[in-house]
């Protein structure tokens, strides 16, 4: 498997292509390398194909590759795109970057997770959850129940802060756009309050979900709880931190769920190999691997095994998840970007 930056990759890959030694298939991958690399290597071994793999850093997670795919729309370089979220994938489909799926593939998945336009597969999900420091909050009665509890003044009165990532990249940005799409004025009020709480020292608004996890598990930072993803939360638990996961909004609409997605790039150079790779990525075996791995991702179809210790839950069975109109969210991918950036990254 060839892993490198995009500019280097394509100078290298195109040069090899001219010599007849180019990759068999090209994958753009927005999933953490430690979660995705092994799956791609297993595909190479099984299929006997060479995959050119290009990932992205956490700082540009879920943003850099979609932008690159849009730039390359007329001359695509990727064959398959594997994303760690769904909003940008919907937007790419609406923009004509992705192709219809092979017949029969989407039908393997629950209807709630099928693209109505048949351009992507949703699988292996993470939930947006609270990670609670149980040393700071030993009493369950003090644990948060809803997203709005991030702003509850009682935690500041107890001498603690709460935390979330800036809603500018990754799943936090996807979550923010979904909230704004569903109820713009209410969501704007929430994010304005978050920015104000940061300025007043009542909240730690940090650069990533991983940083939220680090802040919560370190009791010396006095962060009572933070909003993060299940994969980051599970890492803290496996490290022995005094923390617990809370699925928010179970008394209301349910917790926010974000699946992986994968699609074929329109105009791809290796159509047969791309379809083989896509089928591998969205297979039940891959969902099972993601569930067993450090990301602890949740299968979206029935019958996929999960670890017996029960730390990987099944959406809709073990907890309530929020219904989302992903087509509407994807249509709004850039609508509030400047507003959120100005709010959380004000000019000096």
Element (H, E) at 244: strand 243-246
Are both 209 and 339 inside the same structural domain?
yes
CA 151 to chain centre: 24
Closest CA to 1 of 43, 56, 58, 30: 43
Per-residue tokens: 17: 């292509």
Alpha helices in the chain (DSSP H): 6-18, 33-47, 64-71, 87-94, 153-157, 170-182, 184-199, 209-217, 230-238, 271-281, 284-292, 326-331, 337-344
Are both 30 and 137 inside the same structural domain?
no
Are both 9 and 70 inside the same structural domain?
yes
179 Cβ partners below 8 Å, 6+ apart?
186, 187, 190
What's the alpha-carbon Rg for the chain, to the nearest Å?
20
Cα of first residue to Cα of last residue in the chain, in angstroms, is 43
List pLDDT tens digits, range 271-297.
Answer: 999 999 999 999 999 999 999 999 999
Are both 144 and 198 inside the same structural domain?
yes
Residue 345: per-residue pLDDT? 83
Per-residue tokens: 179: 């909230």
Count of domains in the chain? Answer: 2
Are both 43 and 113 inside the same structural domain?
yes
Closest CA to 300 of 257, 256, 252, 248: 257
Backbone angles phi, psi at 112, to 5 degrees: -60, -20
Backbone angles phi, psi at 80, to 5 degrees: -135, 140
Are both 199 and 339 inside the same structural domain?
yes
Q: How many CB atoms lie within 10 A of CB 145?
A: 15
CA 166 to chain centre: 14
Residue 109 lies in a domain: yes
Asked if 54 and 30 touch (Cβ cutoff 8 Å), the reply is no
Distance separating alpha carbons of residues 31 and 83, to the nearest angstrom: 6
Are both 41 and 10 inside the same structural domain?
yes
Residues in the chain: 348
Host domain of residue 276: 2-125+260-313
Are both 250 and 104 inside the same structural domain?
no
**Residue written as token pair 């990533």:** 208
Residue 34: per-residue pLDDT? 87
Sign of CA dihedral 100, 103, 105, 110: positive
Tell me, what CATH number does 112's domain have? 3.40.190.10
Are both 203 and 340 inside the same structural domain?
yes
Residue 322 lies in a domain: no
Are both 217 and 340 inside the same structural domain?
yes
Are both 203 and 117 inside the same structural domain?
no
Residues of the chain with pLDDT under 50: 4-19, 60, 348
The pTM of this model reads 0.90
Closest CA to 6 of 42, 48, 44, 60: 60
Distance separating alpha carbons of residues 105 and 271, to the nearest angstrom: 16
Residue 42: per-residue pLDDT? 95
Backbone angles phi, psi at 175, to 5 degrees: -60, -45
């Amino acid at each position: 498997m060839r892993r490198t930056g995009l500019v280097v990759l394509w100078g290298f890959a195109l040069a090899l292509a001219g010599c007849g030694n180019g990759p068999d298939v090209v994958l753009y991958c927005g999933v953490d390398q430690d979660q995705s690399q092994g799956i791609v290597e297993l595909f190479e071994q099984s299929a006997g194909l060479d995959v050119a793999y290009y990932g992205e850093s956490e700082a540009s997670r879920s943003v850099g590759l979609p932008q690159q795919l849009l730039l390359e729309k007329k001359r695509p370089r990727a064959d398959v795109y594997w994303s760690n979220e769904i909003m940008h994938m919907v937007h790419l489909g609406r923009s004509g970057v992705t192709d219809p799926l092979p017949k029969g593939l989407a039908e393997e998945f629950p209807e709630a997770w099928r693209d109505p336009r048949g351009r992507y597969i949703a699988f292996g999900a993470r939930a947006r959850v609270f990670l609670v420091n149980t040393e700071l909050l030993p009493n369950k009665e003090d644990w948060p129940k809803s997203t709005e509890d991030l702003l509850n003044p009682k935690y500041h009165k107890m001498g603690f802060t709460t935390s979330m990532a800036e809603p500018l990249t990754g799943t936090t940005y996807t979550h923010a756009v979904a909230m704004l799409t569903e109820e713009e004025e209410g969501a704007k009020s929430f994010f304005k309050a978050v920015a104000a709480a940061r300025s007043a020292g009542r909240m730690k608004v940090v650069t990533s979900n991983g940083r939220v996890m680090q802040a919560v598990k370190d009791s010396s930072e006095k962060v009572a709880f933070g909003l993060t993803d299940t994969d980051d939360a599970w890492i803290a638990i496996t490290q022995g931190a005094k923390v617990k996961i809370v699925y928010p909004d179970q008394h209301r609409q349910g917790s926010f769920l974000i699946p992986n997605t994968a699609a074929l790039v329109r105009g791809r150079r290796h159509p047969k190999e791309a379809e083989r790779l896509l089928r591998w990525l969205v297979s039940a075996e891959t969902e099972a691997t993601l569930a067993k791995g450090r990301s602890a991702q949740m299968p979206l179809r029935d019958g996929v095994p999960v670890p017996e210790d029960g730390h990987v839950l099944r959406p809709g069975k073990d907890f309530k998840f929020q219904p989302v109109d992903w087509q509407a969210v994807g249509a709004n991918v850039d609508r509030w970007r400047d507003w959120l950036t100005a709010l959380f990254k004000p000019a000096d």
